[in-house]
Structure 1
């Protein structure tokens, strides 16, 4: 889990990125302009910043320069824009930006860029030792195979959850998943879709990534569909 700051003047972008990154287990803070971003940075360095380039008060490149000048660019920053030129992206990278994402942002590119940013050690970033992959002494690695045998029986445990989750909702006698055949088509369809997605959220333990794969939907579309149906992924996942 990481603390991520999303800076974008578009509310829809802030909400969508917050939902996606929150589902990945991160704590997300948002800012709609450069001034709010400065205030959030003054409270402490986040683990990563997603920074829009074009904003009404101060553009993202100028804010990046400020942080670099004042010694505040101690966290990875990923720039975002739907209108930036190659020269702008190159300039941001030269100043210190880790990556550049073009809007509309593809989900897999977003997650990959965030993962790279969080796993890449930053120069002088001592408070975050987990980013260094080779912290464990060799003798600790050697001790792993000699773990007590009592731990072995617990290894297959996760496999047993599959059949339990898969057997979740059963169709009642008066209809399909509680959907009456006397309902108007639109209402019946919405009710079925709610039950359908809740079933898969329970089955996949609330993982939006696995539900997207299971249902064949692009993840951004899945978020919007669940919001339209009034289904909360976190609550539905906990039912399992």
Structure 2
């Protein structure tokens, strides 16, 4: 997997992105300002950078320009902001940013942008002309990812071999029957995704915190589904 540098002055954002990306098997470095970002970039040579715009001292756009002017933009950079504008997005792409994500960042858009960014880690995207930015989902100008779309994932049949043949006792209260089904449902998806809570949350349409609470409530054994590397 990749080495990803997350640069953001908000502790909560750094912690959340680190948890998600680590769960995906990536190695994550954290920086809270431009000075730490410069040091991390020099030390670990990240495969991809998630860079916040609004930071104290030196902002993300200025740091991006600095890397670009100094020939240090050898990795894809995804800009992040909760208060960005289309002009900011255009300026960032002119200086080499490959994507722009608006906070709060949804799980699906984060994973898509990271996966697309890592698809061509050594290629610096050409600056895009104003108005030519491709947009995601709800066509918000800050949700631009300047790379091709991912292929549609294959449909996985509901089969895990003999253990997939579950028998449910229907002669019992609805809540008990439903809990038994849901436990089998989540155990199936955990096995399919090698214990990745991020992927299971994406597949089942649940927020991670809700998913954790649900699995705990159902008594699902998470330890046996943990991936060896994560």
Q: TM-score, normalised by structure 1?
A: 0.62
Q: 1:206 aligns with which of 191, 195, 198?
A: 195
1:38 alignment partner, SS class: helix
What is the alpha-carbon distance in structure 2 between the residues aligned to residue 82 and residue 210 of structure 1? 25
Q: Report the alpha carbon displacement of residue 52 of structure 1 after superposing the two structures with TM.
A: 0.4
Q: Residue 229 and residue 32 in structure 1: after superposition, are their counterparts in 2 closer, same or farther (change >3 A)?
A: farther
Q: Report if aligned partners of 2:31, 2:37 keep a CA contact under 8 Å in 1.
A: yes
Q: Summarize deviations over 1:174-208 as a string: whole Å, max 9, x none.
A: xxxxx9xxxxxxxxxxxx9xx78974565433133
What is the alpha-carbon distance in structure 2 between the residues aligned to residue 53 and residue 9 of structure 1? 10
What is the alpha-carbon distance in structure 2 between the residues aligned to residue 71 and residue 109 of structure 1? 28
Q: What 5-or-longer segments of structure 2 have no aligned partner?
A: 125-156, 170-175
Q: Which structure would you say has the larger RCO, counting Cα contacts within 8 Å and 6 or more residues apart?
A: 2
Q: 1:16 aligns to what? A: 16
What is the alpha-carbon distance in structure 2 between the residues aligned to residue 63 and residue 230 of structure 1? 42
Q: 1:46 aligns to what? A: 46
Q: Report the alpha carbon displacement of residue 165 of structure 1 after superposing the two structures with TM.
A: 5.7
1:4 counterpart = 2:4: yes
Q: Report the alpha carbon displacement of residue 164 of structure 1 after superposing the two structures with TM.
A: 5.8
Q: 1:162 aligns with which of 160, 163, 167?
A: 160
Q: 1:235 aligns with which of 203, 211, 223?
A: 223
Q: 1:33 aligns to what? A: 33
What is the alpha-carbon distance in structure 2 between the residues aligned to residue 226 and residue 167 of structure 1? 24
Equivalent residue pairs, number: 188
Q: 2:103 aligns to what? A: 103
1:72 alignment partner, SS class: coil
Q: Which has the higher helix share?
A: 1
What is the alpha-carbon distance in structure 2 between the residues aligned to residue 27 and residue 234 of structure 1? 22
Q: Report the alpha carbon displacement of residue 163 of structure 1 after superposing the two structures with TM.
A: 3.6
Q: What 5-or-longer segments of structure 1 have no aligned partner?
A: 125-158, 172-178, 180-191
Q: TM-score, normalised by structure 2?
A: 0.65
What is the alpha-carbon distance in structure 1 between the residues aligned to residue 45 and residue 110 of structure 2? 21
